[in-house]
Amino acid sequence: MPSKREQSFATRAIHVGQEADPLTGSIGVPIYPTSTYLQEELGKNKGYEYSRVSNPTRTRLEENLASLEGGTAARVFSSGMAAINALCTRFKSGDHAVCGNDLYGGVPRLFNQVLTNYGLEFTYVNTSQAEQVERAIGKKTRMVYVETPTNPLMTLTDIRAMSEICGRKKVELIVDNTFMSPYFQQPIALGADLVVHSTTKFLNGHSDGLGGAIVCTTMEQAEQFGFIQKAAGAILSPFECWLILRGVKTLAVRMEKHDYNGRLVAEFLSKHKKVKKVFYPGLATHPQYELAKRQMSGFGSMITFETGSLANAKELLKNVHMCSLGESLGGVETLISHPATMTHATLGEKGRAAIGITDGLVRISVGIEDVGDIVGDLNSALAAV
C-alpha cells in the first residue's frame, strides 16, 4: 500500500483525517460537540482537555488540510479573516509587511483600519512585478502576503520567483490559495512558507459554513498558531469542521467540473459583444497565461468581466435568474457579484480606481450546474444590458 503522502490527491482528500471511527466503525468522522473532557486524574487525560485548545473533529480536519497542501501541519480558525488576523498576531509594533495591492477588500480593511492601530506597517505593491516586491522589503519586513490569482482582477504572482526573493531577504512568504484550492495549486511545493485559506469557499464547497485555515511548513509555526488558537479563541466549531471534512471529500471532482465550466463560460464571455474585457487566466489573452499553465494544474472557475458601466452591471445583475447574486464564491451553485459595491466597497472610489476596479466589473464564481444553463442565463441577462 502506498503511504499517505504517496497517495493521489483525491484519495487523500477522502481518507486522510477521515479514517473510520475506532470506537464505532462509523465511516463518517464524528462531530464532538463538547466543551470539556473527562480527566482520569490530575494531569492525566486522553489528549484533550478543553475544546478551545483542541477538539477531535478539529484535529481530523487539520490533518486533512495539511495533507492536501503538502504541509507539516494545519490550524483552523472561525473564518478566513480570523486566520489572516492570526498570522499578524505574531508581529510586534514597528514590524512591516509587503502585500499585494489587489486583495480581497476585507484584508486591507483589517490591515489599515485595525492592525495599524497596534503599530504594524503595510506597503501595497503589484506582486506580479517581482522587482516591486524586492524594493519594498526593508529591515523590519516580516512577511510578503499575496493572493494568486487576485480577487477580483485575477492577476498572478510567480510563487517560485517570490519565494527566491523572500528566501534571500529572510522574510516569510504567505500565499492565499483560496481561489485555486490545493487541487489546482500547491504553493508550498513552489516555496511558500505558509498557506492561508478561506475554507468557506471551495474547500467547503456548499456555501453552508464559515472557516479559515493556515497550513504550516514547520512544527514551530504550528505550535505558534496552536497557541494563538488557545489564547485568542477564534477557533472553528466541531460542526463547521465536519462540514469542511464533508466538503473536501468531493473537492477533486468538484474542481474538475468548476474548471470545465469556467473555461467554457470565459470563452463565451470573451466573444460576447456586450462584454468589454474578461479576466481569466485560462484565456490565451490573459497576460500571464504562460505562468498560469506553469504554476497551476487548472484554471478554476473564478472570472471577472467588464460590462462598461455601473448601469450596465446593475442591469445584468437584475436579470440573472439561475446565477445567484450574492457575496462569497466557491460553492456548487454559480454566484455572481459586483466588486465595487460588495467585496471591495471598503476601498472607496479612489482606492478601487488605483488598482483598476471599475464600477462596471462583475465577478462570477462558476458553479457545477449544467454549463449550458449557466451560459444561457448569462446570455439572457446580457441581452437586457
| pLDDT tens per residue across all 385 residues of the chain | 566 667 999 999 999 999 999 999 999 999 999 999 999 999 899 999 999 999 999 999 999 999 999 999 999 999 999 999 999 999 999 999 999 999 999 999 999 999 999 999 999 999 999 999 999 999 999 999 999 999 999 999 999 999 999 999 999 999 999 999 999 999 999 999 999 999 999 999 999 999 999 999 999 999 999 999 999 999 999 999 999 999 999 999 999 999 999 999 999 999 999 999 999 999 999 999 999 999 999 999 999 999 999 999 999 999 999 999 999 999 999 999 999 999 999 899 999 999 999 999 999 999 999 999 999 999 999 999 9
Q: Which of 182, 177, 183 is nearest to 253 (CA)?
A: 183
Catalytic residue, candidates 32, 104, 145, 280: 104
Distance separating alpha carbons of residues 285 and 302, to the nearest angstrom: 16
Amino acid occupying residue 185: Q
b vs e for 338-354, b when ≥16 Cβ sit within 10 Å of the residue's Cβ? bbbeebbeebeeebbee
- Binning the chain into helix, strand and coil, the percentages to the nearest 5 are 40, 15, 45
Catalytic residue, candidates 37, 52, 293, 373: 52
Amino acid occupying residue 195: V
Q: Are 365 and 332 in contact (CB under 8 A)?
A: no
Q: Are 74 and 226 in contact (CB under 8 A)?
A: no
**Burial class (CB within 10 angstroms; exposed 0-12, middle 13-18, buried 19+) of 7:** middle
Q: pTM of this prediction?
A: 0.96
CA triple 32-224-226, angle to 5 deg? 5
Distance separating alpha carbons of residues 280 and 295, to the nearest angstrom: 15
Helix (H, G, I), strand (E, B) or coil at 342: coil
Q: Which of 177, 158, 151 is nearest to 74 (CA)?
A: 177
The reply to whether 142 belongs to the active site is no
Beta partners for 335? Answer: 324, 365
Q: Which of 107, 385, 157, 367 is nearest to 259 (CA)?
A: 367
Catalytic residue, candidates 58, 60, 75, 201: 201
Amino acid occupying residue 184: F
The reply to whether 104 belongs to the active site is yes
Catalytic residue, candidates 95, 158, 176, 259: 176
The reply to whether 260 belongs to the active site is no
